């Protein structure tokens, strides 16, 4: 490999960020996957399960379990898709939106602490460099 950037390296960085998120959301009884799904729903509005699976890189069964737990905790709701009555969509509830609002700063701070060896300039540079790569991975 010539770039010095490999999958294991990126996985380690992602794991560190997940540790930060887990520490921040654990007190609310949430897992990292639940947090990610809630955060996505709060930011995008209701989505069908297929879109959630794709956006979060989760298997269908895993996404369903995560959604079930969010619904059971009154953080999300299921409804019938207006455009396709055969499809169920998941949306963030009012309570879910409140929890996301309360936790988003804590999650960001905890994740930043996991990679605190980067100064603000380098952190911004990393985000700008990896953003297009993440976008390409979604279409691959």
Q: What is the pLDDT of residues 98-110, one digit of tens each?
A: 999 999 988 888 7
For the cut 60, the answer to whether the pLDDT of residue 137 exceeds it is no
CB 140 within 8 A of CB 132: no
The range of the structural domain enclosing residue 71 comes to 9-100+115-139
d(CA 70, CA 98): 13
Residue 106: inside a domain, yes or no? Answer: no
pTM of the model: 0.79
Looking at residue 94, what is its pLDDT?
Answer: 98
Count how many domains the chain has: 1
| Structure-token match 């992602």, residue found | 14
- Smallest CA-to-CA distance from 76 within 23, 24, 21, 33 is with 33
Please give the Cα distance from 116 to 123 (Å, whole number).
9
**CATH label of the domain that carries residue 17:** 1.10.10.10
Residue 101, φ and ψ in degrees, nearest 5: -60, -45
Is the pLDDT confidence value at 41 over 80? yes
Q: State percent of the chain over pLDDT 90.
A: 49
pLDDT digits (tens, 9 = 90+) for 85-99: 889 899 999 999 999
């Amino acid at each position: 490999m010539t770039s010095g950037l490999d999958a294991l390296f990126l996985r380690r960085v992602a794991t560190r960020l997940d540790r930060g998120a887990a520490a921040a959301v654990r007190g609310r009884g949430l897992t990292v996957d639940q947090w990610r799904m809630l955060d996505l729903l709060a930011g995008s509005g209701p989505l069908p399960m297929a879109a959630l699976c794709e956006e979060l890189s989760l298997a269908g069964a895993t996404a369903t379990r995560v959604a079930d737990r969010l619904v059971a905790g009154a953080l999300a709701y299921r409804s019938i898709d207006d455009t396709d009555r055969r499809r169920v969509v998941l949306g963030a509830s009012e309570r879910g939106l409140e929890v996301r609002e309360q936790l988003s700063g804590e999650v960001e701070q905890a994740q930043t602490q996991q990679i605190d060896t980067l100064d603000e300039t380098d952190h911004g540079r990393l985000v700008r460099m990896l953003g297009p790569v993440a976008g390409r991975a979604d279409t691959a």
